[in-house]
Amino acid sequence: MTGLTGVRALIAAADATAYTVSMVNATTLARLAATAGILAFRLAADGNSDKPCWLRDASAPTGSVVYALCEQGSVWSTINGGAAWKKSDTGAKERLRAIAFLDANRGFIAGDHGLLMATQDGARTWQAQTLDTKEHLMDITFVGESGWLSGYQGALLHSTDAGRTWAKQKSGTTQTIEALFFLDANHGWAVGWAGTILRTADGGAHWEPIHTDAASWSLTAVYFRDLQNGWITGFAGQILRTKDGGTTWQAVESPVKAWLTSVNFDQANRGWITFDDGFLMSEDGGSNWKAVPMPGNYFLSRLLRVQNSLWAIGQSVVLQQADGAKWTRMESLVPSNATGTSGQSGAAKPTVP
């Protein structure tokens, strides 16, 4: 087994959806095989950490405060927009998968076997919370004081009191729900395995299943710019687009058949999608996409808005949008090599021309 969540997710999704290996693109299989052989990176933001850290998720509650989650149990935080980072140990024994903060101090992390932990002091200390589920939790999101959790077997939970208590919602599916997106406290969408698409207009009191032939594989990420225009990405290069609030979806051609892991838009209306080898970019509002390769495999998995730019979270790296289509590697939070040599802090260096 490796620590690469993409490989594990592929195996689980294939089992859950009964797809055969022969259906998978040969290039994708080769990439996954190579990925599985890579040794674990170690993160060394402060030069003294030797515990493996595979970056899984991040949250930016303010323009200068950002939290990055290691699935092995730690959280890195910055209060100055990434100039310096500090590590805290959550004490979690389960694999961590998602992080969300309501403000600079209050936040949550979610993981396997129904794990949910909360902090009230900016990630310095963490307390476990009891949930009415033991399913693996995949995503967590908040709009104001309202929060949602999603996970295996169609698990959906909702909080109306800033995460102090959680109640189950009926998703109507037993498929794993990989990702959530809420535009406001009422309008939300959820996507997951076997082409699962759900939407709600009442905060999740009712979830409506959306069936479309365009979703032929498992889905990983969803993003809406407004109540009408949204995008979904997933396995085997899937890009889906809606212009009617998610009632209907159309497939958009992708230049790669890789696992597309996250989608977002910057302030200049450029669309960005992450995958193992780099980015896809759209300069026409998400109608057409082209590949923007990078010099290396960073296994990018999450796009995060920080102030007026985007950050891309990879397994062992954070990239920061510098100027238009240019991205820089954040050298203040860098991976070391497989033998444990620490990276050094320093100025950001261009990585994507």
pLDDT for res 297: 81
Cβ-contact 173, 209 below 8 angstroms = yes
Q: How confident is the model at residue 50 (pLDDT cuts 50, 70, 90)?
A: low
User: What average pLDDT score do residues 162-187 get?
Assistant: 98
Mind listing the domains of the chain with CATH numbers?
5-42+53-297 (2.130.10.10)
DSSP conformation class of 2? -
Q: How confident is the model at residue 9 (pLDDT cuts 50, 70, 90)?
A: very low
pLDDT in tens, 10-34: 444 443 443 333 333 433 433 443 3
How many CB atoms within 10 Å of residue 161?
A: 10
How many CB atoms within 10 Å of residue 69?
A: 29
Hey, which of 206-210, 291-295, 313-317 has the most confident mean pLDDT? 206-210
Give the list of residues 6+ apart from residue 218 with CB closer than 8 angstroms, or none: 9, 13, 16, 17, 178, 192, 193, 194, 195, 234, 235
Cβ-contact 75, 116 below 8 angstroms = no
Order of strands across the sheet that contains 300-306: 300-306, 309-314, 318-323, 326-329, 349-352
Give the list of residues 6+ apart from residue 215 with CB closer than 8 angstroms, or none: 195, 196, 197, 232, 234, 238, 240, 249
C-alpha to C-alpha distance for 107 and 7, rounded to whole angstroms: 28
- In sequence order, what are the beta bridge partners of 99? 109
Cβ-contact 327, 352 below 8 angstroms = yes
Cβ-contact 240, 250 below 8 angstroms = yes
Whether pLDDT at 97 is above 50: yes
User: What average pLDDT score do residues 66-90 get?
Assistant: 95
Query: What pTM does this model have?
Result: 0.84
pLDDT for res 206: 98
With residue 200 as reference, give the H or E element that holds it. strand 196-200
Question: What are the backbone angles phi and psi of residue 236, rounded to the nearest 5°?
Answer: 60, 35
* Percentage with pLDDT > 90 across the chain: 73
Among the residue ranges 34-38, 102-106, 275-279, the one predicted with the least confidence is 34-38
Among the residue ranges 57-61, 92-96, 241-245, 321-325, the one predicted with the least confidence is 321-325
C-alpha to C-alpha distance for 145 and 163, rounded to whole angstroms: 8
Angle between helices 5-17 and 26-36 (to 10 degrees): 130
Q: How confident is the model at residue 324 (pLDDT cuts 50, 70, 90)?
A: confident
